[in-house]
Amino acid sequence: MRPALLSLCVLALLSACGKVEDTRPGTPVAHRQQAFKTILNTFEPMGIALREKRYAAESFLNNARALEAAKDAPWGYFGADTHYPPSRSRETVWSDASGFARERDTFLAAVSALRQAAERRDEQTVRPAYEAVQASCRSCHKAFKGN
């Protein structure tokens, strides 16, 4: 085998070993992680546009709508007994269920407010609404997500 090909195989093997798969019925951990990735994929472009000062009302609104459509997906997959590898949740999701629900509700309200702000097509209006959503991600991750 050519050396380059061999090292590619080793790399593939390493990443396969490093990644723990969710093998439980219904794969709730994989589902909620995928749902958070979708949330990130809709949210991130809005932040980049604002940071790089190239706010474009229509694409921002499309992302805000996509985020609103994605916002409900993770929560149903946090059932009892779903804290196992590869989950990066902290035990507090289950031990402080009401705190987790509060963070979730703050997030849901902020996402709807962001979509409404985006409808106004004005950068000064969307900026604080974007920041409120970002604060809600951070606040929940600080208390409920490990690394």
Q: Distance (Å, rounded) from C-alpha 147 to C-alpha 24? A: 21
Rounded Cα distance between 117 and 125, Å, is 6
Q: Token pair of 126, please? A: 């969307």
The reply to whether 22 sits near ligand HEC by the rule CB under 6 A is no
Interaction with ligand HEC in 32-61: which residues (CB under 6 A)? 32-33, 36-37, 39-40, 43
State yes or no: residue 130 binds ligand HEC (CB under 6 A).
no
- Give the whole-angstrom CA distance, residue 75 versus residue 73: 6
Compare residues 63 and 136 and give the one whose CB is closer to ligand HEC: 136
Cis before 86? omega within 30? yes
Q: Contacts with ligand HEC: how many residues (CB under 6 A)? A: 23
Chosen residue from 46, 49, 70, 133 binding ligand HEC by CB under 6 A: 133
Q: Exposure of 81 by Cβ count < 10 A (0-12 exposed, 13-18 middle, 19+ buried)?
A: exposed
Q: Please choose, out of 10-18, 49-57, 102-110, 121-129, the segment that lies near ligand HEC by the rule CB under 6 A.
A: 102-110
Distances (CA, A) of 129 to 54, 85, 88, 107: 17, 34, 27, 11
Per-position x/- string for 106-125, each x denoting binding to ligand HEC as judged by CB under 6 A, each - no binding = -x------------------
Give 7 or 23: the residue with its C-beta nearer to ligand HEC. Answer: 23
Residues found near ligand HEC in the complex (CB under 6 A) = 29, 32-33, 36-37, 39-40, 43, 87-89, 93, 100, 103-104, 107, 133, 136-137, 140-141, 144-145
